[in-house]
């Protein structure tokens, strides 16, 4: 099976060098395989923070850099019916419950299951969670090797839709990767911890073979600080305005591109 991978920026800010490093890894993975394909997915699941101006700027920067996808782009905001269907299949299995909690109702990263057995009625202002099995998930990362994760202990029951009615990143990408038949996910190692829960969710949804994963090193601002959207000096817009060429942008990342 040829590689099907994806580049999936969120239009909540401008493209920066960290995204470009990810794009290099994504396109390298696809172009290194005869018949390999790259899909482009705009991850605008967060309706409050996503902006069309960011999307336009991201697409313009990508095209300036020479990254071309192999299929027309898709937007998560146009796929709500697909997420509804996926959620409904879990609802029929008794896996979905309403949750009234906000982040301040529990400490740390793990949702402790406060609403698991409350049987709250679904409705506006409530989130929706997926009841996870206490399973151990094993997978082999293409760069980092064998991994063992226990999603229920790490994050608790998975939030599929938040209290504002937004589909969550975890739920939407898992459904999208399944429906778009993505078989290799290439992303930064800051997302390694969420891989087990995405594999577990994919299996619950009925995906027989979850994707493979490659988590690459991140572009760091300093040895301990990762680059963020607020670091203006790495914005591709700004580099373009200062006269950088696409080749200069790409070659500034060359030392990281081969670091597997």
- If residue 175 lies in a helix (H) or strand (E), which one and from where to where? helix 169-179
- Number of neighbours of residue 139 by Cβ within 10 angstroms: 16
Kind of pairing, strands 37-42 and 74-75? parallel
Whole-angstrom distance, CA of residue 89 vs CA of residue 95: 9
Q: Name which of 128, 186, 134 is nearest 156 in CA terms.
A: 134
Among 101, 144, 250, 256, binds Zn ion (CB under 5 A): 101
Minimal distance, residue 248 CB to Zn ion, in Å = 49
Q: What is the DSSP string of 148-208?
A: EE-HHHHHBSEEEE-TTSPBPHHHHHHHHHHHTT--EEEEEGGGGGGHHHHHHHHHHHT-S
Restricting to residues 172-211, name those near Zn ion by CB under 5 A: none
Q: Which residues, 6+ apart, have CB-to-CB distance to 238 below 8 Å?
A: 232
Binding part of the chain for Zn ion, among 6-14, 38-46, 97-105, 215-223 by CB under 5 A, reads 97-105
99 binds Zn ion (CB under 5 A): yes
Restricting to residues 132-151, name those near Zn ion by CB under 5 A: none
Among 114, 135, 191, 253, binds Zn ion (CB under 5 A): 114
Nearer to Zn ion, 165 or 232 (CB): 165
106 binds Zn ion (CB under 5 A): no
Restricting to residues 56-75, name those near Zn ion by CB under 5 A: none
Among 10, 98, 115, 199, binds Zn ion (CB under 5 A): 115
Nearer to Zn ion, 117 or 134 (CB): 117
Backbone angles phi, psi at 154, to 5 degrees: -75, -50
Whole-angstrom distance, CA of residue 165 vs CA of residue 128: 9
Binding part of the chain for Zn ion, among 35-43, 68-76, 114-122, 135-143 by CB under 5 A, reads 114-122
Nearer to Zn ion, 42 or 99 (CB): 99
Minimal distance, residue 100 CB to Zn ion, in Å = 6
Nearer to Zn ion, 12 or 154 (CB): 154
Nearer to Zn ion, 156 or 196 (CB): 156
Whole-angstrom distance, CA of residue 147 vs CA of residue 128: 28
Tell me the chain's radius of gyration from C-alpha atoms: 19
Q: Which two tokens stand for residue 21?
A: 């490093």
131 binds Zn ion (CB under 5 A): no
Question: Do 135 and 200 contact (CB within 8 A), yes or no?
Answer: yes
Task: Tell me which residues touch Zn ion (CB under 5 A).
Answer: 99, 101, 114-115
């Amino acid at each position: 099976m040829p590689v099907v991978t994806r580049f999936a920026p969120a239009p909540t800010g401008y493209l920066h060098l960290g995204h470009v490093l990810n794009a290099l890894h994504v396109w390298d993975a696809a172009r290194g395989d005869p018949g390999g394909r790259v899909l482009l997915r705009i991850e605008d699941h967060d309706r409050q923070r996503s902006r069309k101006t960011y999307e336009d700027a991201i697409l313009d920067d990508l095209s300036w850099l020479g990254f071309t996808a192999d299929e027309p782009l898709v937007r998560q905001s146009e796929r709500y019916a697909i997420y509804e269907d996926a959620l409904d299949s879990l609802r029929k299995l008794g896996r979905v419950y309403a949750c009234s909690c906000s982040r301040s109702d529990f400490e740390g990263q793990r949702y402790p299951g406060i609403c698991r057995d409350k049987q709250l009625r679904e409705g506006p202002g409530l989130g929706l969670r997926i009841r996870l099995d206490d399973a151990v998930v094993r997978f082999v990362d293409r760069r980092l090797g064998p991994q063992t994760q226990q999603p229920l202990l790490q994050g608790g029951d998975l939030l599929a839709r938040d209290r504002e009615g937004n589909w969550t990143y975890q739920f939407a990408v898992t459904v999208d990767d399944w429906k778009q038949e993505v078989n290799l996910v290439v992303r930064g190692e800051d997302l390694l911890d969420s891989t087990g829960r995405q594999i577990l969710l994919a299996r619950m949804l009925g995906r027989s073979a979850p994707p493979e994963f490659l988590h690459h090193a991140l572009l760091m601002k300093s040895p301990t600080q990762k680059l963020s959207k607020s670091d203006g000096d790495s914005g591709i817009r700004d580099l373009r305005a200062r006269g950088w060429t696409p080749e200069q942008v790409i070659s500034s990342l060359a030392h990281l591109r081969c670091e597997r």
